[in-house]
Every structure is written in structure tokens, then in C-alpha cells.
């Protein structure tokens, strides 16, 4: 007989019709078991687990079967088994909102408090989820080092409200701290969807930038700009990120300056635009326009005194012959410590290079002659 007639241990056929019958029966049983738990339903769920496991031997990529199996293990009070199964399902369908909710429900006491309990009725059950609370929990989990859970929570907030740019930026920040290659693959999958948010192109370009894949970053960011998003914050971020990629490539530097200037014009928060000033200063630095680079980078560091703008300012000061000013910036970088909530790989690379050579840099810059400045520039070569 053909595959469609094969029988599972519980009597359900493993073909498409059999799977649908099994899934419907499983969903009804699990719903009843939550509303009215009993020893008999516990035994029925154990039998259901056997059926689902048999189906998964034939179809290991069946997300519905994996989801039902995880929920079955959860009701059988086997949280470890449930977590393992839901991770397999998330690997196949990483943006499935039901899987993300189950994953958070299974988190238990690991990290911040889990989601509120389900609200149940005779007819249905639903989750009461506030995306803003989830976003804060994602950030808390990141701070505490629960990176996988933080990433899952960030994705859940984005799925609940895909139009909120802040939630996409959470996914980007946490994802690059957790596993930038994974977040890149999952963002590529997300952008193929019919309702892909404009912000996914910013996230894709930024992730490629973090990974040093500058040509791919330019392509994603250009696609995002071509969609002409209505949100000026998002549009400014796209312009700025593309400008910075061009600076890293040392290509089309006039365009990089225009993009960064346009980003400054439309970015809504003038007090928090230090990262855009940094991009503009870096573009002028690559163009060897040291006075404009220095002016913009001084403002950038005043608003964002993190290692990347400090390095760019130090380079501008070195090119201008200001050994003492450059040493001050490099000393700040050497004293910086890695932070889980600022996981930019470029920043880590800058900090490690400066920390490795700071004693030699200090000796050279205290002498401060042209030859010594040239030696320091050679030590820092390749960081911009």
C-alpha cells in the first residue's frame, strides 16, 4: 500500500488527512486537559506523545507536530523535553508567534519572570501579552546574560507589533549579541514574507555591517531606502547606516557625506544624533578633510562617548598633529569594559586593539613627534 495508508500506533493515518485528524484530536485533548486535568487525560496525553513521535520519525520538519508535542510534554510536567522540542520547531519556523509564546511560557524561572498565566474560558484560551512589558523583559534577560531567551522575547515583541521600529532594533541589538549569523539568516527569512516591515532592511544591513559584509549591507540598505518609508526615524537610520557602510568601503564618499547630512536633517531627536555626527565625521576623515572631521567628531563624542566615535576622533586628532588630544581619547577606550548590552563587534575589536597596545601608544604620543604619530596611526590601521 502507499504511504497515505500507513497507520500510526494510535490508529491515525500518517498521510495528509491522517495528520490533520491527529492534529485536531490532539489540540482538543490538550485544551480539555488544561481546563479539566485528570488522570485519564494524563494517560491519553502519554498516548498522544507516542503518536506524535511516530509522525515526527516520518516528518521531522512538521512544525505543528513539534508544537503539539512540546505542549504535551508541558502538560506531562516534562519541561526539559518540552524546551528541546520547541527549540527544534523554532529552528524550522523562527518567526512563528505561537512557538515564541510557548517558548516564553516554558522559560519558567530562568531569568526575569515568565509571561502572565493564560486566561481561559470554556470556548477558548488566549495570552494576555503587553509587548512593551515583553520588550523590557527582553532587555532585562540580555543584561542578566540569558541571551537565547532575550532573543526569543525580542522576536515575540516584534511579531506582536511589527510596525514598531524599536522592537526591530531590540531584535537587532540582542540578536547580534547572541548569534549574528543566526539573526542574519532569520531576518532574511522574515523579509520574504508578504507583510515584511520596512525596518527589516535596516536590520539586515546593520547585521551585515556588524559582520563586516559591507557589499551585502549596501544592497539591503539600498533596498530599504528604495521603499521610501514614511517614518523619518527609520529613514534617517537607513541613510546613516548606508553612509557608514560606504565609509567602511572607502567608496562614494561624497554620497556618504550627503546621506549623513540628510540623516541629520530628518532625524527627530537632535540630542541623540551623536551616532549620525560620528558617521559624518568619519566620512570627512576618509576624505582627508580633517577640520570638518574634527568638528563633527567632537560633537559626536559629546553626545555618544563610546569607543567607536572616540576612535574616529582620535584618528582625526592624530592626522591634525594633536598627540595629547588623541591620547586622551585612546586612554578612555583602553579603560572601557565590554558590555553585554553594547555587543557591536566593531566596538569590541577597537577596544581590544587599543587595550593591547595602549602602553606603547602612550609612550609614542608622549613624545608626540610626526614619526611617533605615524607609528600610532600604523598601530590603529584598519579600524576604520
Region of residue 333 (left: phi > 0; alpha: psi -120 to 50; beta: else) = alpha
Q: 10 Å Cβ neighbour count for 116?
A: 12
Per-residue pLDDT tens for 216-225?
999 999 999 9
CA dist 113 and 126 (Å) reads 19
- pLDDT at 184 (0 to 100): 95
Q: Is the pLDDT of residue 176 over 90?
A: no
CA dist 355 and 347 (Å) reads 12
Domain boundary assignment for the chain: 9-109
Q: Is the pLDDT of residue 335 over 80?
A: yes
Per-residue pLDDT tens for 11-63?
334 445 567 788 999 999 999 998 888 999 899 999 999 999 999 999 999 99
Q: Is the pLDDT of residue 119 over 80?
A: no
CATH class name, domain 9-109: mainly alpha
CA dist 225 and 38 (Å) reads 57
Q: Is the pLDDT of residue 344 over 90?
A: no
CA dist 171 and 180 (Å) reads 11
- pLDDT at 125 (0 to 100): 45
Percent of the chain with pLDDT over 70: 88
Give the pTM.
0.83
Beta bridge partners of 119: 126
Amino acid at each position: 500500500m502507499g504511504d497515505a495508508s500507513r497507520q500510526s500506533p494510535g490508529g491515525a493515518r500518517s498521510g495528509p488527512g491522517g495528520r490533520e485528524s491527529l492534529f485536531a484530536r490532539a489540540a482538543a485533548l490538550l485544551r480539555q486537559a488544561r481546563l479539566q486535568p485528570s488522570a485519564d487525560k494524563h494517560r491519553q496525553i502519554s498516548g498522544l506523545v507516542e503518536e506524535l513521535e511516530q509522525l515526527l520519525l516520518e516528518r521531522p520538519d512538521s512544525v505543528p507536530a513539534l508544537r503539539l508535542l512540546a505542549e504535551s510534554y508541558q502538560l506531562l510536567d516534562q519541561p526539559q523535553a518540552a524546551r528541546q522540542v520547541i527549540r527544534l520547531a523554532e529552528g524550522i519556523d523562527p518567526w512563528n508567534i505561537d512557538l515564541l509564546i510557548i517558548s516564553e511560557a516554558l522559560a519558567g524561572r530562568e531569568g526575569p519572570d515568565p509571561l502572565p498565566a493564560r486566561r481561559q474560558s470554556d470556548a477558548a484560551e488566549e495570552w494576555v501579552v503587553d509587548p512593551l512589558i515583553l520588550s523590557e523583559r527582553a532587555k532585562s534577560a540580555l543584561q542578566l546574560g540569558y541571551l537565547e531567551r532575550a532573543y526569543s522575547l525580542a522576536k515575540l515583541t516584534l511579531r506582536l507589533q511589527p510596525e514598531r521600529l524599536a522592537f526591530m532594533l531590540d531584535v537587532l541589538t540582542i540578536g547580534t549579541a547572541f548569534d549574528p549569523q543566526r539573526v542574519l539568516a532569520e531576518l532574511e527569512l522574515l523579509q520574504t514574507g508578504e507583510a515584511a516591515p520596512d525596518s527589516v532592511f535596516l536590520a539586515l544591513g546593520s547585521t551585515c555591517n556588524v559582520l563586516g559584509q559591507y557589499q551585502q549591507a549596501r544592497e539591503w540598505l539600498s533596498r530599504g531606502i528604495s521603499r521610501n518609508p514614511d517614518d523619518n526615524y527609520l529613514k534617517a537610520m537607513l541613510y546613516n547606516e548606508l553612509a557608514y557602510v560606504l565609509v567602511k568601503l572607502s567608496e562614494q564618499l561624497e554620497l556618504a557625506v550627503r546621506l549623513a547630512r540628510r540623516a541629520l536633517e530628518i532625524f527627530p531627536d537632535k540630542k541623540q544624533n551623536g551616532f549620525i555626527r560620528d558617521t559624518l565625521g568619519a566620512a570627512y576623515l576618509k576624505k582627508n578633510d580633517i577640520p570638518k572631521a574634527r568638528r563633527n567628531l567632537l560633537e559626536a563624542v559629546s553626545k555618544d562617548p563610546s569607543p567607536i566615535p572616540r576612535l574616529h576622533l582620535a584618528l582625526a586628532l592624530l592626522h591634525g598633529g594633536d598627540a595629547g588630544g588623541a591620547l586622551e581619547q585612546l586612554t578612555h577606550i583602553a579603560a572601557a569594559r565590554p558590555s553585554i548590552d553594547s555587543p557591536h563587534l566593531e566596538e569590541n575589536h577597537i577596544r581590544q586593539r587599543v587595550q593591547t597596545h595602549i602602553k606603547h601608544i602612550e609612550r609614542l604620543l608622549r613624545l608626540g613627534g610626526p614619526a611617533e604619530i605615524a607609528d600610532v596611526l600604523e598601530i590603529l590601521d584598519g579600524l576604520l
